């Protein structure tokens, strides 16, 4: 338990008192601990990585290993050159038991830290991640579980990846190479096959049934369907019987209707057993469109006449013509009846009436070139009081003006807040519209028919023409 001090320091003599010896021994103890740390760092500092630290002081209490490492780094940066370590025993007074305990404790505390510094833990090397998980994730993102199920069903049916590429409609446009790679990955790659299997198990049963119904037809299935003659017109019972006789050949999702549709497709492309396709002409001459058109027999293209159908169509046409003729004869009588009920017949005009506004209850006569329409009040009187025809509380007091121009045309101008409808067309406030004979004028739910005295208007037009000529 001897104290270690730096070489070159003066050795303190024994002439001092007991109290001075105790304080001096404590100072020497602290100096010895610091020098021990510094010399250890200088001796083995080359193997310790330099620790990045801030120049600012840390106010929190440091742990033992932090104290050792920081002091070692600082001492290595300050001292240059090889240090000299000399053990020197104090010749003065022997250290007391309490001092021995202090030195022992400090030495015990420094031992594990120095061991850790001398044998630094090996740095963990950064292992470069392989690109396979990224490729798997990307592959799984493009191939959906529905695509995998379609691929598996199609391969089980046809055992031909080329047929799968041509006949199956996936969610994306996959090339033949991509389909092959995916199939081999599902067979031999445990990671991809496991992920694909988990994704397919999460599909809804209805989605699985819809995918299985789109499975391609195998060669055995098409061979059984091709035995049905092309001239026959099979019904669903025939295909149901075919399904019941060969349950092991047909896919479980096959139905009589799907078999009928596929049989019609085979018939369309001349793939049935009793059908044959004409071979292409051999030789130098290649059949073109004009040659094929000459070979076509026009008589075969025409449909055969159905005399029964033609007779029925002729009889129905005759009945319809007879009904139209009867309606045309009855039309004048119905017109008179409608006019007498609605009052739409032409009234008897006198020489002073230019036009008339006929309603359901009353008839207003226009005997001046300009009249006002609206709702009469005690304070204001107008030419045509529309309240006599019906409820007029929505009509303005001055709703509109009907005016005859020199050329014989009638115009109505809307002066009220609500629109006026002429033959179903709205005339907004501040606008005007031309009135013709038998025009329907609707104001706030009240309907009127505007009737013009054509004889008087023709005379007015003639006089206006004479005036313009003069």
Q: What is the pLDDT of residues 349-391, one digit of tens each?
A: 777 888 988 888 888 888 888 999 888 888 888 888 888 888 8
Separation between Cα atoms, residue 80 and residue 60, nearest integer Å:
31
Q: Which long-range contacts (CB under 8 A, 24 or more apart) does 171-180 make?
A: 171/144, 171/146, 171/147, 172/142, 172/147, 174/147, 179/151
Q: Classify burial at 243, counting beta carbons within 10 Å of its beta carbon; exposed 0-12, middle 13-18, buried 19 or more.
A: middle
d(CA 258, CA 265) in angstroms, rounded, equals 11
Q: What is the pLDDT of residues 430-465, one digit of tens each?
A: 999 999 988 999 988 888 999 988 888 888 888 888
The C-alpha atoms of residue 62 and residue 53 are separated, in whole angstroms, by: 14
pLDDT digits (tens, 9 = 90+) for 38-75: 554 454 444 455 566 666 665 666 666 666 555 555 55
Return the CA Rg of the chain. 57
Give residues with Cβ within 8 angstroms of 238, minimum separation 6: 228
Q: Is the pLDDT of residue 133 over 60?
A: no
pLDDT in the model for residue 353? 86
Classify 404 as helix, strand or coil: strand
Q: What was the pLDDT predicted at 52?
A: 65
For tokens 């007091």, name the residue. 397
The whole-number pLDDT of residue 362 equals 82
Q: Residue 36 has which token pair?
A: 């021990």
Average pLDDT rounded to a whole number, residues 113-139:
45
Could you count the other beta carbons within 10 Å of the beta carbon of residue 342? 11
Q: Cβ distance 103 to 3 under 8 Å? A: yes
- The DSSP call for residue 47 is G
Name which of 126-135, 144-153, 189-198, 244-253 the model is least confident about: 126-135
Distance CA 85, CA 87 (A): 7
CB atoms under 10 Å from CB of 394, counted, come to: 14
pLDDT digit string, tens, across residues 209-264: 999 888 999 999 999 999 988 888 888 998 999 999 998 999 989 999 999 999 99
Q: What are phi and psi of 370, to 5 degrees?
A: -145, 125
Predicted pLDDT of residue 207: 92
* 312 pLDDT tier (thresholds 50, 70, 90): very high
- At residue 131, the pLDDT reads 46
Are 362 and 384 in contact, with CB atoms under 8 Å apart? no
6-29: pLDDT as tens digits? 444 444 444 434 444 444 455 555
**Rounded CA gap, 445 and 321, in Å?**
41
> Of the given ranges (50-64, 77-91, 266-280), which has the lowest mean pLDDT?
77-91
Q: Assess whether pLDDT exceeds 60 at residue 402.
A: yes
- Give the model's pLDDT for residue 229: 87
**What is 51-91 written as a DSSP string?**
PP--SSPP-SPPPHHHHHHHHHHHHHHH--S---------S
If DSSP codes are grouped into helix, strand and coil, which group holds residue 218?
coil
């Amino acid at each position: 338990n001897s104290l270690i001090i730096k070489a070159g320091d003066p050795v303190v003599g024994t002439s001092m008192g007991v109290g001075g010896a105790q304080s001096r021994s404590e100072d020497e103890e602290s100096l010895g601990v610091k020098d021990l740390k510094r010399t250890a760092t200088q001796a083995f500092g080359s193997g310790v990585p330099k620790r990045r630290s801030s120049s600012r002081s840390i106010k929190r209490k440091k742990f033992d290993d932090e104290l050792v490492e920081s002091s070692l780094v600082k001492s290595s940066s300050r001292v240059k050159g090889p240090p000299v370590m000399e053990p020197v025993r104090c010749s003065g007074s022997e250290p007391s038991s309490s001092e021995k305990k202090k030195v022992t404790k400090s030495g015990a505390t420094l031992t594990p830290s120095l061991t850790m510094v001398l044998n630094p833990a090996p740095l963990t090397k950064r292992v470069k991640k392989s690109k396979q998980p990224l490729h798997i994730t990307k592959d799984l993102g493009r191939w959906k579980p529905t695509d995998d199920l379609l691929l598996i069903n199609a391969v089980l049916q046809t055992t031909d990846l080329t047929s799968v590429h041509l006949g199956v409609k996936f969610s994306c446009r996959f090339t033949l190479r991509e389909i092959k790679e995916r199939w081999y990955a599902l067979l031999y790659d445990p990671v991809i096959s496991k992920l694909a299997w988990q994704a397919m198990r999460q599909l809804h049963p209805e989605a699985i049934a819809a995918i299985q119904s789109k499975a391609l037809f195998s060669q055995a299935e098409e061979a059984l369907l091709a035995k049905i003659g092309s001239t026959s017109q099979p019904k669903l019972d025939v295909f149901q019987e075919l399904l019941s006789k060969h349950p092991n050949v047909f896919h479980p999702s096959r139905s009589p209707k799907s078999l009928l549709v596929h049989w019609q497709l085979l018939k369309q492309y001349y793939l049935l057993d009793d059908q044959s396709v004409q071979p292409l002409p051999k030789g130098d001459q290649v059949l073109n469109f004009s040659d094929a058109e000459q070979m076509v027999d026009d008589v075969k293209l025409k449909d055969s006449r159905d005399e029964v159908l033609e007779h029925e169509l002729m009889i129905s046409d005759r009945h319809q013509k007879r009904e139209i003729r009867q309606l045309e004869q009855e039309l004048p009588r119905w017109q008179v009846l409608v006019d007498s009920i609605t009052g739409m017949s032409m009234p008897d005009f006198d020489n002073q009436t230019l036009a008339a506004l006929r309603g359901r209850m009353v008839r207003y006569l226009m005997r001046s070139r300009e009249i006002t329409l609206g709702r009469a009040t005690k304070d204001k009187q107008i030419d045509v009081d529309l309240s006599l025809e019906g409820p007029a509380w929505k009509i303005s007091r001055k709703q509109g003006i009907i005016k005859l121009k020199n050329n014989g045309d009638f115009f109505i101008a809307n002066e009220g807040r609500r629109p006026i409808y002429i033959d179903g067309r709205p005339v907004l406030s501040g606008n005007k519209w031309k009135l013709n004979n038998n025009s329907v004028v609707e104001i706030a739910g009240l309907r009127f028919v505007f009737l013009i005295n054509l004889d008087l208007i023709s005379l007015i037009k003639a006089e206006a023409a004479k005036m313009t000529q003069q």
